[in-house]
Amino acid sequence: MTGVGTMARKIFFCLMGFVLLVSGLAGCSKPVTDHQQVAKNEKIVIKFSHVTAENSPKGLAAKRFADLVRERTGGYVEVQVFPNSTLYKDGEEIDALETGAVQMIAPATSKLSALFPEWQLLDLPFAFPDLQGVHTFMAGPVGRQLLAQFQTKGMLGLAMWDSGFKEMTDNKRPLLKPSDFQALRFRIMPSQVLRDQFELLGASTYEMPFNDVGRALTSGQVDGEENTISNIYTQEFDQSQKYLTLSDHGYLGYVVLTNAQFWHSLPANIRKTLEDTLAEVTQWEWSQAEEVNKRQLAEIEKQGRLHIERLTPAEKQAWEQALRPVYDRLAERIGAGPVNSVKELAK
């Protein structure tokens, strides 16, 4: 973990906070310090590891966060972004955060369910009418309680970012009726709700890290997978799959996590700059996620490689009905209260 505890550094950051305050009051938007002149050993380095492409919503937001933080701290804080599982992959990221090998990660919420089973609420099929519905839920009592859970494991949930709603891809047949899933094998993220979802559709599942999915689709190890358009497009799943069903059946989003000890060790003014910048980038990320998914779907359509289906209202209703037992199964595991709070939204 980056050390920031020396007295000299504390004094330095107090002075810097004062300078930032004065320049802010003076309406000065330029960095207060030329970061080129900041000595390497004076910097706070934040390693931000994630698994998606640079041109995914998460990749774009991580990069924007890094750029704004560099600009706003005059280079004193350097956020180094490692996209595409280049530093740590699924299953390694949380350990890396705990040991201080990295300071920020943004895993998909489904991947948190082994440690925090209640996060499977966000995996429930057809739970949220739109992304705004997810944001409202997360800002409410259940969402706040979910975010507070990280503290029990020495982490802090700083923000929620969207990837979007998941669609289905496969290489056997168009997926329109629940029975179309029969005997197919799907790659999933590690979450019992996702296991149950495919089991109820008559399919089997295979859990694997995100960076292995492309290979598994190409080799035929699995027949299909579920993901957002931006992941399908940026990982080129559309190159090895034949069918895409635009089902919007489930949410895929991220928690931006940090190590609590590291975060609290930061000088207060730096922490505030990071938190304000993250809040601003989060708003930007939400609109980017919608735009990027739209733009990349148009690109997939233009390339014409995938056979694309849109569920009719009647088909969607049949999926919803087939998947309803997922809610009761989750209620048995985590309690009916939180599941009912999502059911209310789904009505």
Q: Residue numbers of the site for ligand LMR (CB under 6 A)?
A: 51-52, 108, 163, 189, 210, 227, 231, 252
> CB–CB of 57/286 below 8 Å?
no
Residue number of the CB closest to ligand LMR reads: 108
Q: Shortest Cβ distance from residue 74 to ligand LMR (Å)?
A: 31
Nearest to 124 by CA among 203, 206, 193, 200: 193
Residue 52 or 205 with smaller CB distance to ligand LMR: 52
In Å, how far from its chain's centre is CA 270?
A: 24
Residue 52 or 273 with smaller CB distance to ligand LMR: 52
Q: Shortest Cβ distance from residue 313 to ligand LMR (Å)?
A: 27
Q: Shortest Cβ distance from residue 135 to ligand LMR (Å)?
A: 18
The residue to which tokens 């050390």 are assigned: 3
Residue 52 or 197 with smaller CB distance to ligand LMR: 52
Residue 12 or 284 with smaller CB distance to ligand LMR: 284
Residue 13 or 116 with smaller CB distance to ligand LMR: 116
Residue 231 or 277 with smaller CB distance to ligand LMR: 231
Q: Shortest Cβ distance from residue 63 to ligand LMR (Å)?
A: 15
Nearest to 111 by CA among 166, 58, 190, 50: 190
Nearest to 261 by CA among 155, 341, 186: 155
Nearest to 82 by CA among 128, 44, 113, 46: 46
CA distance 106 to 158: 10
> CB–CB of 70/190 below 8 Å?
no
Residue 135 or 187 with smaller CB distance to ligand LMR: 187
Backbone angles phi, psi at 206, to 5 degrees: -140, 120
> CB–CB of 239/113 below 8 Å?
no
Centre a 10 Å sphere on the Cβ of residue 25 and count the other Cβ atoms it contains.
8
Angle at 190 between CA 60 and CA 115, to 5 degrees: 90
The residue to which tokens 């990349």 are assigned: 296
Q: Shortest Cβ distance from residue 20 to ligand LMR (Å)?
A: 33
Q: Shortest Cβ distance from residue 163 to ligand LMR (Å)?
A: 5
Residue 71 or 212 with smaller CB distance to ligand LMR: 212
> CB–CB of 29/62 below 8 Å?
no
Q: Shortest Cβ distance from residue 340 to ligand LMR (Å)?
A: 26
Annotate 236-258 with three-state secondary structure. CHHHCCCEEEEEEEEEEEEEEEE
Q: Shortest Cβ distance from residue 225 to ligand LMR (Å)?
A: 7
